[in-house]
Chains A and B, each alone.
Chain A
Amino acid sequence: MAGSATKTVHDIFQSMEYGPATTSTFATAQAWLDHHSRSLGLFIDGMFVRPADRQSCSVTDSTGGAVCSTVCAVGDDVSQCASSAANGYKAWSSLTCQQRAKVLLRLVSLLGQHGQCVSQLCELCGAPCSLSTLVRLLQYYGSWAQLRDTLISGWAPLGVVAVVVSDDCSLYSLLLKVLPALAMGNSVIVVPGRTKAPPALLLAQLFVAAGLPAGALNVLTGGDMSLGAEVAQSPNISYITYSGNKQDAVRLCEATAGMGVPVSVSICIGPTCPFIIFESADIDSAVDGVIEAAFKKIREVHWVLCVQESVLESVEARLRLRMAGMKCLALRSDEDRTLVDAAVQEAQQQGAMLIQPCTAPPSGAQYPPTVLCRAAPSSLFVVSPSPGPLLPFMTFRTNTEAVAIGNHSPHGLAASIWTEDLTLALETAKSLSVGSVWVNSHSMSDPCMPVCGHKDSGTCTDGGQEGLYQFLCSPGSSFPTLPRSWVVDALLALTHNYVCTTDLPISVSGCSLAVQSPGCGDVLAYCPDGGRKDVRNAVEAAVKVQPGWMKKSASARAQSLYLLVKCLEAKRQDLAASISAQAGVSLDKAEKETDFSISRLNDWAANCDKIKGGNLPVPHSGLALSLPEALGVVGVVLPDKNPLLSMVTLLGAALTTGNAVVMVPSQKYPLPALTFIQVLQSSDLPAGLVNILTGRRDQLTVALANHSVIKAIWYWGSAEGCQYLQHTCTNPLKTLYLSSQKDEEETDEGRDWTRSSLLEEMWRNAVQWKNVWIPTA
């Protein structure tokens, strides 16, 4: 503002304008950067490392000015970092819970001293993060570090965890992964996005100053996602978890498939979220809310405004009025501007009306906040939203239609609903298949709430106690279960297999496989050879009954499962005989397995009403509910070992939590599963809830992987199968639980299906969490 200094009191008295915005200073952050000569190294083993001859990449601020440069790590750095992290893990995990908690809490007081530097650096790098949020995160996870052995006894840290985030991911989302991993005793390798690297490096430095052992937190910086995959290759890594946008998530999943490391992703950047205004809403507040949410400086999700037809005009009028004084918002680049222009033009051609405070400037990386009225779910700008401050605006007629529109999307991150009618709010919150529902509010978050993107928005839970389990392995289990072999052409092999079988008649048309007894080649039976179409039919059937099963009360589900136990008991002899004949074990041993299966199913039935959410103590007033929900249809490829017990364990986990299953019994030992079909038939479980498809494992795995309705696959099989699933199940994302079993030596090795800690591990895998925020005064 050139003439601002000469503005007289009288001018301002007339115009009543605001004074010039105070420009923030970054003196403290600049001093820190200067101290590091404006070129930051990698943070390995508790110190900055600047290896020679590395490419550097520059970090710029919002105006394009250079902030500093960072090092692009290469293979040597990654292996140095991984071995440092392995040592860091030894030091960190050998501390007591209290000692770990102390380090996290000491960082809180360090933030008191260096908070200014941290917040300035975050702002300078375009990732503003309030100090109070950081403190809350540290205090929350400090308390979990303290209580790990008390409240989650028996569970142990995984080892070295890699946290990878995309460039556009916020510092909050990054720390929502790093801090729980540390709090549980893991060591962490952070691979931050390019622009978030400086704050991440500063925090790592502060962590070491707070007493974190060297190597427990390393930061590797680099150019793009390929660094994440490179980190995964290192044999020391136990687990990779990712936060950010979908494209980079897919890239990471594909690049790390078959490396033997479990990968889970949270898509917190870019999903489309409905903003639903019912006629019973406080319209003024709702309109203020949507403007705040959709036209923020940093927009992480794409909102779509859905308004009940009866209040359409009133919302539209208020939007016009409230947006009148708004200024243009900055875009990331000139390319984004081209995309925005194209999207708006396209929308106008389809008859969309614009609400804008001013017309767009002819060029430049900025655009006025724009509401695109008369949008429809099929509009291009709704289906594939462009960057920039664009808000599609559509209408619905009834409450049911609002839910239908809200759910008709591949994304499932969050929704904001506005109504003063509590019943309507809770019913809608229940019906929306999203991870977070904000009632009469939006974008609220707190580390104590488990956040879990549904559908294509993620495969893991972050935050809350539930979010800790991704960094822990259950008592008695050995992690990782995936082999560290990298089968280059496994993918090809499996796909090849698939292509072949499509030429053969499939079981829909009656093809069958011979089932042989072990040792000798006697044919015990012929079972149908299921294929793609059988999976399709099974999923169709499952989708029909699953919602009803989930809606049943927990106690009704328990009764159904108890009845299933009774039916199982009735068939006890037959099942034992089939196990014995099939697996070649003594009848005595087979009976033992059957009895154990009966008691396992009893356990599950008893567990039905014990798996519950609740109201969590968020630091806001009102209610913040965390509710477990079924995943939907789960595909299970069963192991060879303990054919009946493993099946009942996994089936029970899925059914207890309200899921439907499509199960593929062991290709080698399908007989117990076939016998179990009779048990199912005599039970009162709705037909279609449990589907058992025998046939070739690989062929059926491919079919399961390529059915979008299936939200999760639990797989026991070949390393190739694991790689195939990791590579394929990215669009839409499926939650994978993979174990590779070695065909030869399945007797003594592998999972112990009798241990009771399996129950908790499996039900946690069978649910997704939904949080419902109902803030009140």
Chain B
Amino acid sequence: FFYFSMSRVLDLEWISKVRVNTHSVLMRAQHIQGQKIPNKQWQAAWLLKAVTCIDLTTLNGDDTPSNVHRLCLKAIQPVQHDLLRKMNMHNKGVTTAAVCVYPSRVADAVMSLKAANSSLPVASVATGFPAGQTPLETRLKEVCMAVADGATEIDIVINRTLALQGQWEAMYDEICQFRRACGDAFMKTILAVGELGTFTNVYKASLVAMMAGSDFIKTSTGKEAVNATYPIAIVMVRAIRDYYLRTGFKVGFKPAGGIRTAQESLLWLTLIKEELGNDWLCPHLFRLGASSLLADIERQIYHHITGKYAAYHELPMA
């Protein structure tokens, strides 16, 4: 990813010309939410695709090695084996895309996965998650330490103060520094859209994050009042499309926060398919940040296979 970041530059003129019409975006979101959701084997396949795009996440104060370990093993085996076998998907490598933890738990996660002979990437939030209100120096240090502990994906948060003040150049510089600190690790930039005020700001922040070399842009930390909503996602994926049209770089998209049901995950896939096309429907370019979503998807798959609705306790917990 290094040469990627080298060829990306800040283009303030582009940013200044950004215009977003709120009403049209809301209409578009409504249109997408009104799309028919696939059913039967299409639904099962789409749900499995959603599973492979999940960053299975635990970001709590009470995380310890034991629940991180459970999470890692669930990530390796996200859907009960016999269910997968019935769909002939048991040997197709269906795992979640990554596990996502706080920097202090990276080492635990890496150890658990290694013990299970899995190469599943470990993602870590960093840079003063969720508020980003710590000195730049410590935020950079955090990234370096997470990488050193074995995280291969880093979810950084942007400095909302800079974004709200329109200091795009300063924000760009900060993200560039994080990019360098990440080294070879995947960098996902969390825009915390709930705190950016307007769609136009979201679009601009998306562009700056991509210019500064992000591999993914991510909606929210899950800790703000407004999380991943469809209209905001439309604004962000339009920025991704815009960036792709101008530079040829495909940047990934990760909605996170508040995504809990299988139904929603299907809508998210539909949105990406409609707005960005099939190319983006892979873990390389699309992630779902979620913790409880997997359980619901598994129940839906259970229903698809058996025709019965499972109780939560019938399926293995994360």
Contacts and interface: CB of A to CB of B under 8 A. Distances in A.
B313 interface: no
Given A18-B38, A281-B19, A321-B245, A12 B24 contact: no
B238 A777 contact: no
B38 A9 contact: no
Nearest to B87: A9
Contact of B21 (A7, A282, A321): A282
B242 interface: yes
A622 B92 contact: no
Given A9-B41, A16-B46, A318-B245, A440 B21 contact: yes
Given A318-B245, A325-B277, A7 B19 contact: no
Interface in B243-288: 245, 269, 273, 277-278, 281
Interface residues of A, number: 38
Contacts of B273: 16
A276 to B, nearest CB: 14
Interface in A249-302: 280-286, 288-289
Nearest to B245: A317
A570 B281 CA distance: 83
B88 A9 contact: yes
A20 B45 CA distance: 14
A673 B241 CA distance: 68
B89 A440 contact: no
A283 B25 CA distance: 11
Interface string A765-776: 000000000011
Nearest to A11: B45
A8 interface: yes
A349 interface: no
B45 A321 contact: no
A65 interface: no
Nearest to A325: B277
B42 A18 contact: yes
A28 to B, nearest CB: 21
A423 B92 CA distance: 57
Contacts, number: 91
B91 to A, nearest CB: 10
Contact of A10 (B26, B92, B281): B92
Nearest to A310: B17
Interface in A375-424: 418, 420
A194 B85 CA distance: 56
Contacts of B38: 18-19
A321 B89 CA distance: 33
B238 A12 contact: no
A586 B216 CA distance: 93
Nearest to A14: B45
A287 to B, nearest CB: 10
Contact of A8 (B25, B28, B43, B88): B88
A420 B41 CA distance: 44
A13 B21 contact: no
Interface string B34-59: 00101111111110110000000000
A363 interface: no
B81 to A, nearest CB: 15
A10 B89 contact: yes
Most B CB within 10 A of own CB, among A19, A282, A321, A621: A282
A776 B22 contact: yes
Contact of A285 (B21, B43, B44): B21
B42 A19 contact: yes
A12 B45 contact: yes
Interface in B185-244: 238, 241-242
Nearest to B276: A321
Given A16-B273, A16-B278, A9 B89 contact: yes
Interface string B133-175: 0000000000000000000000000000000000000000000
A318 B245 CA distance: 8
Q: Which 10 A-B pairs have the closest CB atoms?
A: A285-B24, A12-B45, A19-B42, A282-B21, A777-B22, A19-B38, A9-B87, A13-B45, A420-B19, A284-B238
18 contacts: A7-B42, A11-B45, A13-B45, A16-B45, A16-B269, A16-B278, A17-B42, A18-B42, A19-B39, A282-B20, A284-B241, A285-B28, A288-B24, A314-B245, A321-B245, A440-B23, A621-B23, A775-B23
Given A8-B87, A321-B241, 10 more contacts: A8-B41, A9-B87, A12-B45, A16-B46, A284-B238, A285-B20, A285-B21, A440-B24, A776-B23, A777-B22
